[in-house]
Structures are given as structure tokens and as C-alpha cells.
Amino acid sequence: MDFGSFLAAPEIKIRIVTYRDIFQDKAMIENRFGEEYRDRSAIIKLDAADLKQLNVKKGDTVILSNSFGRIVVKAEESGYDTPHRGLAYMPNSPWSNMLVSDETGGTGVPKFKDISVTVTSAKGEKVTEFKP
């Protein structure tokens, strides 16, 4: 393994806000184990400046990890007009739920829409699969 490049890969901390997407919902109904649902779920929308700092191009895969899980998803540029460095967006799915904390303060309500993770380039590693 090439440790040099491993150490050199830039890493940033981000906060993920999840949302719903009609195309993704439709894909889930049609086949929740299918490619379209995966392609519309396993993505993260980052600020262009964050992509640059990560040294990652649109469409490359990135690793999102925290103490609850680790997933590989595709990086996209959000395209929002207001900058949002350090904040990224993901459709709500089994992928985002891999990273949601079990810490609820006893309220029974997890923070589905507010997830803190570290992002780094996945260097070509494939998107995480949820196969039955």
C-alpha cells in the first residue's frame, strides 16, 4: 500500500444536511436494490471550494466517515449560488443513515439531518453497495 499518498490525501470535516428528492423516491419505489436508486442516493453535494481542497473532481468517489460508519459515495458540486463551505447535502437514504449518530439524549429522535463526518478522496474505490 502506498502510505505516502494515503497521508497526503487532504481531509476535511463537514456537516451534512439530508433532504428528499423526488427522482430518488421514484427510483426507490421501482427498485430499492437497483442501480438508479443507488446512483441517486450515494452522492454528496459539496461546495466547489471544498471539492478543490479535497483534490477531488465532480463524479469522483469520496469516503465519508465518523465513529458510526464509513461509506463511499460520489462527490458532486452542489451548484447553489450561495457558498456553503463545510456544509454538504445528501439525499436521505440507507447510505446517509449509516452515518447518523445513535446519540439522541433520550429523546427518541436521531439527528437524521445533521451529520458530522470527515471527507477524503476514495481514490477510485467503488460506491458502497447495499445488497440484500
Partner 1 sequence: MEKNYYVCTGCGLLCDDIEVESEKNIINKVYTACRVGVAHMKEVRGEAGFRVDNAPVDEATAIREAASILKNAKNPLIFGLGTSTDEAQKLAIELARKTDATLDDTSSFCLGPLVEALLQDKIKTCTLDDVRNKADVIIFWGADPSDSHPRHLSKHSYFPRGSEKQRGWEEERTAIAIDVRKSHTAKICGNYFFQIPPEGDAEFIDALIAALSGKLPKTSYNYPPKKILELANILKGAKFGVIFAGLGLIYSLKDMEPVFRLMKALNEKANFQLVPMVGHYNMRGFNENLYAETGYVNRVKFENGTVKHGPEYSVVESLKAKTVDAALIIGSDPLSSLPRSVSKNLLEIPVISIDPCETLTSKHSKVYINTAISGVESGGSATRMDGIKVSFKPVVETARLSDEATLKKIMEAL
Footprint of partner 1 (CB under 8 A):
15, 17, 19-23, 25-26, 29-33, 68-69, 80-82, 87, 89, 93-94, 97-98, 100-102, 104, 106-114, 130, 132
What are the C-alpha distances in Å from 12 to residues 3, 22, 99? 19, 29, 16
Between 93 and 120, CB nearer to partner 1: 93
> What cell does 77 get?
458540486
CB of 126 to partner 1, least distance (A): 19
Kindly state the smallest distance separating residue 65's Cβ from partner 1, in Å. Answer: 13
Question: Please, which residue, 37 or 61, has the CB nearer to partner 1?
Answer: 37
Q: Check: CB of residue 120 under 8 Å from CB of residue 10.
A: yes
The least distance separating partner 1 from the CB of residue 88, rounded to whole angstroms, comes to 10
CA distance 90 to 94: 11
**Which C-beta is closer to partner 1: that of 51 or that of 121?**
51
Amino acid letter, 95 = W
Phi, psi of 124 (to 5 degrees): 85, -5
User: 458540486: which residue's cell?
Assistant: 77
CB of 17 to partner 1, least distance (A): 6
- The residues pairing with 14 across neighbouring beta strands, listed in sequence order, are 117
Nearer to partner 1, 105 or 124 (CB): 105
